[in-house]
Chains A and B, each alone.
Chain A
Amino acid sequence: MEAFAGLFGIDPFDLWFFFEVLIGGLMSGVMYALVALGFVLIFKASSVFNFSQGVMVLFAALNFVGFIELGLPIWASFILTMGVMILLAFVVERVVLRPLVNQPHISLFMATIGIAIFLEGFGELIWGSNIKPLEVGIPDDVVFMGDAMIQQADLFAAAVASVLVLVLALFFHYTRIGRALRAVADDHQAALSVGIPLNTIWVIVWSVAGFVALVAGIMWGSKLGVQFSLAILALKALPVLILGGFTSIPGAIIGGLIIGAGEKLAEVYVGQMLGGAIEEWFAYIVALAFLVFRPQGLFGEKIIERV
């Protein structure tokens, strides 16, 4: 037992420690889920795989921090940043999506890579590329649950994510726009034929995705500081999507939790045997394995098509 603990540097039978790692992982999973949520929204409404969602998180956070640094109060910065994200949605729809209508999905996907690169440069050109700390009054103490140490900020993020999902669910189910969005997601042609304007819907859904990106950006930003690596971290949302399915909001959440917890546990319990830092690729390999056996994800719609 002792020798075992010495070998790994940790005691593999310490349940409290396991619990702590698990909670930490689940919490970072919430963060991935927040980014994945934005992907799912856009994919559902326009079958565009929005690669730039990760950079939108960074861009929103950069704007938010930038406005705060200009001396604006937090609520004003939030509203202003939301304005910027809505403007972005308009521009993207007009400049990128509309001319590429009816093009192969893969072209649109590559176009969103272009958006990602552009936004990255644009955001940092305006606001600078140094790491900015973000303080919005999120508590940063730790609480103890038994012997396990839990960051309060993580709990806060989890609470925010739950509220966000709830709000989105209500929005999708009980508002006129939400119903229109679901109609478009279900069948473009049918939605058009009953008079739902596709272009407006796209602007709205990109704005909603911008809103999700802003919330995710604030969460990530106050945890790690607003910096370029947020965009790379947000790439982890891709395996989350594969796991959860591209079209399922609950899938994005559960996929995020599984990936977050899985990679933390793998890093702590298996990583040291392999030389560490397996967190970098663990999520992708899990997604790869998933793709081979269940390509539609846990909750995605099964597309019956032989490749």
Chain B
Amino acid sequence: MFYREAGQFKTSYAADQQLLPIPMDRVFVIAVVLIAIFVVPVVGSQYWLESILLPVLILSIAALGLNILTGYCGQLSLGTGGFMAAGAYMSYKIATNMPEFMPVWVPILGGGLFAASIGVIFGLPSLRIKGFYLAVATLAAQFFLLWLFQKVPWFVNYSISGVPSAPPETILGFYVTGASASPEAKYLFVLAFVIVLALLARNMVRSRIGRSWMAIRDMDIAAELIGIKPLQTKLTAFAISSFYCGVAGALWSFCYINTVEPTAFDIERSFQVLFMIIVGGLGSVLGSFFGAAFIFLLPILLNNVPGWFGLQLATDVVSHLEFMVFGAAIIFFLIVEPHGLARLWQIAKEKLRLWPFPH
């Protein structure tokens, strides 16, 4: 009734090909972005900004990256944590050694580029292997990279503890990284990355490069026959995916945990991000955000829900329940809704089109 796609006629190719062809969608998305920029930092409490929105947004970037590789290009990776660590450590190295006048986003992007180059190296075996063979190859990246960053003191400027704190950097006089930054500044800083990277991803997947990823995913031999080069396609997917993961890792260290430490990027993180894209929706930009929010918020919810009913559960019981719910959710989504929460969102929109009439 209120949400209609009919009766909207396009008179130019540009109008037909724009990112959000339906005005209602466009208005909605722009409104969400504007609210996120202007309203949320004002009304959000410190807890919401710092402990919920910040990590969810950063993990969304990582999920976006993995979704490009796994959801769009079909190459399963269990090395997300390793690539995030690469971004975090390289950003730290650049941030602490760059001249004063360089803006703060330089080390973050530098970390992303470093992660991208590492991703290409570990993506090389994908030319000969696929599926779970590749999963094992990316596990090598996970374990090797974490070991490397722990054992080579160069990355942490020979810091004695090996766990340096994130350097405080400013934009226009406001601290945006490190422990001294205000939650609002950090939130806006991260949000800027999220908006740019999400827009980029959304455009990439509907352009030539995204289409060739999907062709490789759906049937690599057929894709090769119609002239898509598997070498370039897979390696660009690895590079861009690792770039996203690297940026996410850098932001995670700089803005969320405020230290550069290997335990933040262990294999649990890789699995967490993988679960995000399975639950959120493989091959969906929007799904990456849904998945990140779902997987990150579920444990918090599980911690709080028993309290509302007057039940007191021990923390270890809750963490075990959390595992069980995750496992069950993954199996559930794979069986019932392989396209994840993003597909549920689509279904909701289709229902809304008819509402309040039955058909």
Contact = CB atoms under 8 A, between A and B. Distances in A.
A292 B133 contact: no
Given A111-B334, A115-B331, A280-B147, A238 B139 contact: yes
Contacts of B103: none
A287 interface: yes
A291 B320 contact: no
A287 B136 contact: yes
Interface string A110-137: 1101111111111011001100000000
B274 to A, nearest CB: 7
Contact of B125 (A49, A121, A288): A288
Nearest to A49: B132
A180 B144 CA distance: 41
- Greatest chain B CB density within 10 A among A100, A106, A129, A292 is at A106
Contact of B132 (A109, A121, A278): A109
A138 interface: no
B53 interface: no
A195 interface: no
A115 B326 CA distance: 10
Contacts of A241: 136
Interface string B330-343: 11001100100000
B73 interface: no
B48 interface: no
Contacts of B168: none
A274 interface: yes
A287 B137 contact: yes
Given A109-B76, A280-B143, A291-B133, A116 B327 contact: yes
Interface of A: 49, 51, 95-96, 99-100, 103, 105-107, 109-111, 113-122, 124-125, 128-129, 232, 235, 238-239, 241-242, 274-278, 280-281, 284-285, 287-288, 291-292, 295, 305-307
Contacts of A103: 334, 338
B267 interface: yes
B230 A119 contact: no
B128 A121 contact: no
B143 A121 contact: no
Contacts of A122: 320, 323-324
A119 B221 contact: no
A239 B326 CA distance: 26
B278 A110 contact: yes
A177 to B, nearest CB: 27
Nearest to B234: A307
Contacts of B326: 114, 117-118, 121
Interface string B97-134: 00000000000000000000000000011011111110
B328 interface: yes
Interface of A is mostly: helix
Closest 6 CB pairs of A and B: A118-B327, A121-B323, A114-B330, A284-B140, A117-B327, A121-B324
A28 to B, nearest CB: 17
Nearest to A124: B320
A284 B137 CA distance: 7
Interface of B: 74, 76, 124-125, 127-133, 135-137, 139-140, 143-144, 147, 151-152, 220-221, 224, 230, 267, 271, 274-275, 278, 316-317, 319-331, 334-335, 338
A277 B147 contact: yes
Contact of B334 (A114, A117, A291): A114
A106 B323 CA distance: 21
Contacts of B328: 114, 118
A72 to B, nearest CB: 23
Contacts of A120: 323, 327
B195 to A, nearest CB: 30
Nearest to B124: A292
Contacts of B338: 103, 107
B140 A275 contact: no
A109 B131 contact: yes
A106 B131 contact: yes
Contact of A292 (B128, B147, B335): B128
8 contacts: A51-B132, A99-B335, A117-B327, A121-B327, A281-B147, A291-B125, A306-B224, A307-B220
A288 B130 contact: no
B220 A125 contact: no
A236 to B, nearest CB: 10
A110 B330 CA distance: 8
A178 B346 CA distance: 47
